[in-house]
Structures are given as C-alpha cells and as structure tokens.
Amino acid sequence: MSDYTIYGIVDEKDDPTTVVYIGVARYPKSRMTRHWRQRHDKESPLNTWLRSLDQCPDYVVLTTCGLDERDDQERYWIAHYGFDNLLNVTTGGHGFDGKNYQLDPVSRARQIAAVKKALTGRTMSDETKARISAANTGKKRTPEAREKMRQAKLGKPLSEEHRRKLGDAHRGRVHTAAARANMSAAQRGKTVSDETREKLRQAWVRRKERMNSAT
C-alpha cells in the first residue's frame, strides 16, 4: 500500500521542473500548506527561501511508497537531485526539528550556498521588503553575533566595483552636528596601538596611490 508521497518543491521563477527541496508526507498538498504557514516559525534554509516568495510554491510528486520504503526513497531522491543543490538540511531518512543543524560548519556552509542559489535573481516585492525591514528594525546584535560578523568579513578584499559604489554612496555626504558629536564621543579616550597606527598609515598610502592613479 502506498501510504507516503515523496514530493519535490519547485522553483517556478526559473523552470517548473527545478526542484529545490525534497519532502515526504502522507498528504503532500496539506504539507505544502503547512510549509507555507510555518515559514516564520523556525530558521531553516527552506523557510528562508519561502519567506522571499509572495505565494506558496508548487510541488511535483516524485513517487509513492509504503512505510518500509519511505526513508530509502527520500534518501534516493535527495541523492538524485544532489544534496548540495537542495535546501534540505539532512540527506534524508529522519526528521528535522529546526535545531542544531548549524553546528556542523561544512553542512552550514552548504546550506547557505543552497539558499543563495535559490534566491539568486529573485526580486522581492515591496510587501516582502517591508516585512523584512519591520522584523529587523530595532533589533540589537549581541556582542557574540557582532564578533561573528566581524570575523566573517575579516581579510575579505573588496572588489574595485564595490569600492567605487561605497565611494559614490559616501561622496558629498555631510554628517549632522549630532552625528559628529556621537562619533567623537565613541572615539574619545581610545588608545591606538603602534600596529594599528601602522595599518592606518598604510591604508592612507594606498588611498593616495589610488587617488594619484585616477588623475
């Protein structure tokens, strides 16, 4: 008796046959409704992708099977489409409760890459952008989170195009008196090490070289 359906969620923005996630359910249509309704409930690559959409995506039925074949079939189809190409956080055969998947750095990096691939080329609606803005407004990062963000960018070189865009965005910008006072207060009393002074000096030398080469 075929009690279970192995289904694939498809990304219709590119191709209705592009599968981005493999799932298993008795009633896939109801499961898709739950996927969509619960997209804000927990963090996962699938939910991150779903939150970028304006409506629930479609799915395709890959196969049906009984309970004794369910786990093997799920593993087979995840392997068939390629684990690295999907938003699944496991290789199949067991559930996922939304916790601890990020503890494996290799898997976490793969999941981030899969999310980026799924989001590439997608244009968010104004409504989606407003929801993201509202969710992040006033949100304070913990010192640990800020340190992780700093470490992620540490030593990462910026492309010339990125540098140009940053320059264009800040050129001619005038800070208010209050902003200048805040920046001054934040720096007051700080002691700069000799190493930092040397780095600042080298950065200024490189900046002068770029300015001279541009003229």
Q: What is the pLDDT of residue 11?
A: 82
User: Is residue 163 in a domain?
Assistant: no
**Using the 8-state DSSP alphabet, how is residue 27 labeled?**
S
User: Is residue 183 in a domain?
Assistant: no
Let me know: does 73 contact 55? Beta carbons within 8 Å.
Answer: no
43: domain range? 4-126
User: Is residue 197 in a domain?
Assistant: no
Q: pLDDT tens string for the chain (215 positions)? A: 568 999 999 987 556 568 889 999 999 999 999 999 998 887 788 888 888 888 899 999 999 998 888 888 998 998 888 888 888 888 876 655 555 444 456 666 666 777 777 667 666 667 766 766 766 677 777 787 777 777 777 777 778 888 888 888 888 888 888 888 888 888 888 888 888 889 888 888 888 887 787 66
User: Is residue 177 in a domain?
Assistant: no
User: Is residue 9 in a domain?
Assistant: yes
Edge-first strand order for the sheet with 59-65 is 19-25, 4-10, 59-65
Q: How many domains does the chain have?
A: 1
> Beta strands 19-25 and 59-65: pairing type?
unpaired
Q: What is the pLDDT of residue 96?
A: 57
The domain that contains 35 carries what CATH number?
A: 3.40.1440
Burial 110-121 (b: 16+ CB within 10 A, else e): bbeebbebbeee
Between CA 47 and CA 101 the distance in angstroms is 14
User: Is residue 68 in a domain?
Assistant: yes
Q: What is the pLDDT of residue 100?
A: 46
User: Is residue 81 in a domain?
Assistant: yes
User: Is residue 94 in a domain?
Assistant: yes
Which of 44, 40, 41, 52 lies closest to 23, judged by CA? 44
Q: What is the pLDDT of residue 107?
A: 63
